[in-house]
Amino acid sequence: MAVLDFINFYLVPGLVLGSIYAIGAIGITMVFGILRFAHFAHGDLATMGAYLALAAVVLLGANPWIALPIAMAAAAALAIGIDRAFYEHLRERPRIVTVMASLGVALMLRSVVQVVWGVDPVTYQRGIVRPDEYFGILLRPRELYTLLSLIVIVVALSAFLKMSKWGKAMRAMSDNPDLALLSGVDNRRVTILTWAIVGALCAASGFMLGVNTELNSMMGWHLLLPMFAAAILGGVGRIEGAVLGGFIVGVVEELSVLVLPGHYKAAVAFAILLLILLVRPRGLLNGKVL
Amino acid sequence: MELIGLANYAVFIAILIGIYALLSLGLNIQWGFTGLFNAGIAGFFAIGAYTSAILTSPHVAGRVGGFELPIVVGWAGAIAMAAAIAWPIGRICLRFRSDYLAIATIGVAEIFRLVIKSEDWLTGGSRGITGIPRPFGDFDYMASQLAYLALVVLAVVAVYLLVERQLRAPWGRMMRAIRDNEHAAAAMGKRVEARRLQAFIFGCALMGFAGALFVHFNRSITPEAIDPMIATFLIWIMLILGGSGNNRGAILGAVVIWLIWSISELLTDRLPTEVAIQAKYIRVFIIGLMLQLVLRFRPEGILPEERRKEAAQPRTATNA
């Protein structure tokens, strides 16, 4: 039974947490790879997405999982708007200036959440859900849906990037923006499309965290470090890398409670980040180094 | 009475402006002159504050300390500790673009926040550390405040002169060369990484010193004393608005932003309670928006970096 205990108490929670990190890290790795800067508003955009879903739940009385696509669409539009308003005019300046602007956007998004929804934690649905048993493995429906959502997102996104015209354009821009421009790729449109996908992914990761725990105005900010650790661990620019990185960070965080006090979980992501930068900055799957 | 209250408040604000000016100068060394992105300023500030507090405060049961060392030793400890924590971070992250440093410094600030909150034996947990001595603390109130203000002003002037001197020296020219074109600087034989590490540690040490000055002014410190994101962000907007790359701009930015921040706090505190809490977040929003506006419409700040003569005559420029 020791193996089942390990799976139920450490591996499953770690993989669920890892999926949430992975969904966020895919967005981070896309901005990092295609637009070439570290997007610090990512976590707070996730918070905003989670609260947009809450608004949909409250206004429409809908099931949270139906509110998810609405929140993703709204966050996608918001991300494009943020790019238009705050990042676009900085494109000719050193990229680090855009990083700074994104830190400002993070603060702005968070204060909007705090003004509109307050600072007290809330949940989508009340009540305790009992886990179902699958061959001895205990899974709550929401955990199962989280894992399935990650799979759907990764498959859909990979297919889009590999097969569609715009997906290829995005990969071309990630590999070499000047060459892509010369080959007739419309950088502006690719940028807008990237933000749409990234915004939707942000909302999804914030929502998953909200469904599995609770919503509060700092939730996204606390996701930022593990998401960056996951993206860099997997290799910047690599979707599969972000997923692998997310799972590793999630599982190691859950396992860390065996040796560290629980409140130091956040330090685990930081340690992984420093370690990978020290020994293999390209990440496990050979990503980019900026 | 009203007048005395006002004078007290003005002195209080002035002391805090001095402390923020030191932080802004520290950031200017990192960002303005070297192009390094430190997003964990509040972390290094808190490291300095707690180090000096632990070294100089009296003994309390259940917490390490009671060293009751002289305040100057506390300051030196704060500077050394901030530098010692900056060193490995810089060592790992400065090989890459500054984005990585930004992530790592956010990590330092977050983790130090956790340490402060949960390690009761070291930092007193949520009770914090109290009974921290203040230089001239046994004067009567106003004299003590004024004496501390003089001390802070002295520190700002001293740091300003030292940094200015350093930046006018060949070292400063080399730093700007690295910031503006690291490949060219490397080709000229400059050790880019080592120089960046120097600037990063130097800046962080200054932030630790500012933390020590704050803690001895406040006489106590709790985890709630510093909101990491808001404090860090205020210092960024001070530097960007004032003029990054210009030390006088850094100080001017600290004055302007801290005045706006404290006066707006005075105003929002008069609002009814329900609105006052929301007003607090709206202030944060406005600060964020202000950064965006400055970046867009006046990226060089109020006092832009001075273009020195040698920049206008590249052909006659000599090697540093």
Contact A101 B118 (CB under 8 A): no
Question: Which residues are CB-contacts of B211 (< 8 A; sequence separation ≥ 6)?
Answer: B44, B45, B46, B47, B48, B49, B50, B51, B52, B78, B82
Q: What pLDDT is stored for residue A154 in this prediction? A: 95
Phi, psi of A155 (to 5 degrees): -65, -50
Size of interface A-B (CB pairs under 8 A): 123
For residues B295 and A90, is the Cβ–Cβ distance under 8 A?
A: yes
**DSSP codes joined into one string, A40-72:** TTHHHHHHHHHHHHHHHHHHH---HHHHHHHHH
C-alpha span between B300 and B294 (Å, rounded): 8
User: Which chain B residues are within 8 Å of A221, Cβ to Cβ?
Assistant: 229
Question: What is the DSSP code (8-state) at residue B314?
Answer: G
Q: How far is CA B307 from CA B104, B170, B313, in A?
A: 32, 15, 11
> Hey, which residues does A122 pair with through a beta bridge?
A215
C-alpha span between A179 and A258 (Å, rounded): 50
Q: Is the pLDDT of residue B308 over 80?
A: no
Question: Which residues are CB-contacts of B136 (< 8 A; sequence separation ≥ 6)?
Answer: B143, B144, B147, B148, B151
Q: Distance (Å) from the C-alpha of residue A96 to the closest C-alpha of chain B? A: 7
Contact A107 B240 (CB under 8 A): no
C-alpha span between B319 and A285 (Å, rounded): 42
Residue A2 or residue B308, greater confidence: A2
**Closest Cβ–Cβ partner in A90, A100, A114 for B37:** A100
For residue range B10-44, what is the model confidence (pLDDT) as tens digits? Answer: 999 999 999 999 999 999 999 988 889 999 999 99
C-alpha span between B212 and B210 (Å, rounded): 5
Enter the tokens of residue B144.
Answer: 């003590």
Contact A108 B289 (CB under 8 A): yes
Q: Is the pLDDT of residue B161 over 80?
A: yes
A 10 A CB-CB count for B318 gives: 7
Residue B59 or residue B187, greater confidence: B187
Q: Is the pLDDT of residue B254 over 70?
A: yes
For residues A223 and A43, is the Cβ–Cβ distance under 8 A?
A: yes
Q: What pLDDT is stored for residue B309 in this prediction? A: 54
Which runs of E-coded beta strand occur in B122-246?
A: none
Separate counts of helices (H) and strands (E) for chain B: 13, 0
Check if B197 contacts A (Cβ < 8 Å). Answer: no
Enter the tokens of residue B162.
Answer: 């030292």
Check if A21 contacts B (Cβ < 8 Å). Answer: no
Mean pLDDT of chain B: 88
Enter the tokens of residue A104.
Answer: 């400002």
Check if B110 contacts A (Cβ < 8 Å). Answer: yes
Q: What percent of chain B has a predicted confidence (pLDDT) above 70?
A: 96
- What single-letter amino acid sits at A20? I
Check if B131 contacts A (Cβ < 8 Å). Answer: no
**Closest Cβ–Cβ partner in B96, B106, B278 for A290:** B96
Q: Is the pLDDT of residue B312 over 80?
A: no
Listed as ranges, residues in chain A with pLDDT below 50 are none
Residue of B nearest to A224 (CA): B103
Which runs of E-coded beta strand occur in chain A?
A: 132-134, 137-139
Find the Cα–Cα–Cα–Cα dihedral A157, A159, A162, A168, rounded to 10°: -60
Contact A274 B233 (CB under 8 A): no
Check if A195 contacts B (Cβ < 8 Å). Answer: no
Residue of B nearest to A274 (CA): B92
Q: What pLDDT is stored for residue A149 in this prediction? A: 94
User: Which chain A residues are within 8 Å of B289, Cβ to Cβ?
Assistant: 104, 108
Restricting to A residues 144-173, those with a Cβ less than 8 Å away from any Cβ of B are: none
Q: What pLDDT is stored for residue A47 in this prediction? A: 96
Contact B103 A281 (CB under 8 A): no
